[in-house]
Structure 1
Amino acid sequence: MPIDMQTEIISRVARHSRRAVRNLLAVVPPLARSAAVPIVYRNLNIHPLTVHPRAALQRYQSLMENCLASGNLQAHYVRGIQQYFHHQNVNGGLLHLQIAAEGSYEKAVYLNGVIMLAKGETAIGQAMLDTLGWRQSKKRADRCWKRVKRSLHGIRVTRLESYMTAYRNTRETIACHRDNIHERCDTCYYYKKLTKFVYMM
């Protein structure tokens, strides 16, 4: 079988999980030579690490570096969380989150959006959250927030002063449902998303 065809097969399997790739290589060992290539790492599904980014702080270093070098969006999301929150490297973390968001990785789109709101970059944050179609249905964005919170579980999230400044400034403009986090209209939607991020609700 041609090498490029082998790589295509492995790449498609990689979209399911790392375990699926390991199982395939266990059954057909000769395919291993076609597995360690950029397209496979770019498509490799590393969902478990997006759920627990802390797990990749000390382990999976080679895997993460190969995935990052190949443009794997999940890897950029994981590294973004590690850098922004755990290492408090704001610029480095945002760079990775932006790469993942620009690739339409939903959790990165949401997280980058609320971070922009919290940094006072209101127009950018709102535009990013708008891509999740909340005016048609809030379910997609709400699902993203639940998954982002799960990713952040166990990671110390520092409440920066800039967050509080943005929160207070935004709160002053809200006259509707200000103290009801569950009631969200077109006017207070972004404020509620900012509130949930600042207070990790």
Structure 2
Amino acid sequence: MTTHNTIPVSRIPKSTRLTPYIMSLKRAKEYSISDVRRCLNAQPGQITPTECRRICKHARLRELTKNPLRTLQSYKKEMQICLRYGNREAHYVEGMKQYFALRHTRIGMRHFKISARKHFDQGNYLLGLLKLVSGDHNEGMKILDIFAWKKKTRTVDRLWMQLKQSLREIQIIKLKSYGTNQILLMPSQTCNPSELNKRCTKCFHYKEIEKFLQLVYRG
């Protein structure tokens, strides 16, 4: 009688039962900063590293883009992991904090460029303005042309209002070069400099700088 050695079969462990929140998170079309926080606090087995990476990379950070200074005291872990995975809004927020609040302009500009390369409109718009006021007019104009303002200014007007909200609690340092670089773009007298909402191809960039300088010179 032939005997056969029995090969032990390893027991396949049951997958961790997911909570209703994690299940809904997987089906969500949009993630928020709260989802990033819950992802960081999830128990082992509740969510995979790939899923966590997707959440942190694509999370919308509206609370922070409206008030970047909140990241000086809070949301540090959330910002770290979002930056690690290339979240474009996190780079915009970090750029605002570094460039305007901490006055680390090189670091801030690097984050703005990353945000712009990832096609975040607010990052592109602000980068274009900073290029204009710093004297790199050709590059600034090229960036702002992305928004097709010659046809309609609706997009740049919306982005300006969002930028104005982001900067409302930030004290911007006045640089002499800002005014000098604006003068170099001054249009002819046919364009009224005081009517900022009336812009043509000759005065558009000059007036975009003027709106920014009104924030700079506010006090």
Shared fold, TM over 0.5: yes
Partner residue in 2 for 1:61: 76
2: CA distance between counterparts of 1:105 and 1:99? 9
Q: 5+ unaligned residues in a row in structure 1: which ranges?
A: none
Q: After TM superposition, list the pairs within 5 Å mapping 1:106-117 onto structure 2.
A: 106-117=121-132
Structure 2 gap segments, 5+ residues each:
1-13, 17-21
Q: Displacement of 1:160 after TM fit?
A: 1.3
| Matched residue count | 197
CA distance in 1, matches of 2:40, 2:78: 17
2:47 alignment partner AA: R
For the Cα contact (< 8 Å) 1:112–1:125, is it kept in 2? yes
Cα distance in structure 2, aligned partners of 1:76 and 1:83: 10
Q: Does 1:134 align with 2:149?
A: yes
Deviation at 1:159, TM superposition (A): 1.9
CA contact (8 A) 2:150 2:201 kept: yes
Partner of 2:212: 197
2:135 to 117, 120, 125: 120
* TM-score normalised per structure 2: 0.79
More helix by share: 1
For residue 79 of structure 2, what is the amino acid of its counterpart? M
Q: Give, in angstroms, the shift of residue 34 of structure 1.
A: 2.4
Residue 2 of structure 1 and its aligned partner are, at CA, apart by 8.3
TM-score (norm 1): 0.85
2: distance between equivalents of 1:23 and 1:54? 22
Give the Cα separation in 2 of the matches to 1:31 and 1:174.
Answer: 66
Task: Choose which of 118, 140, 149 in structure 2 pairs with 1:103.
Answer: 118
Asked if the contact 1:100/1:109 (under 8 Å) is kept, the reply is yes
Larger-gyration structure (1/2): 2
- Give the Å deviation of 1:96: 0.3
One-letter amino acid of the structure 1 residue matched with residue 162 of structure 2: R
Of 34, 37, 59 in structure 1, the residue corresponding to residue 48 of structure 2 is: 34
The answer on whether the counterparts of 2:100 and 2:170 sit within 8 Å (CA) in structure 1 is yes
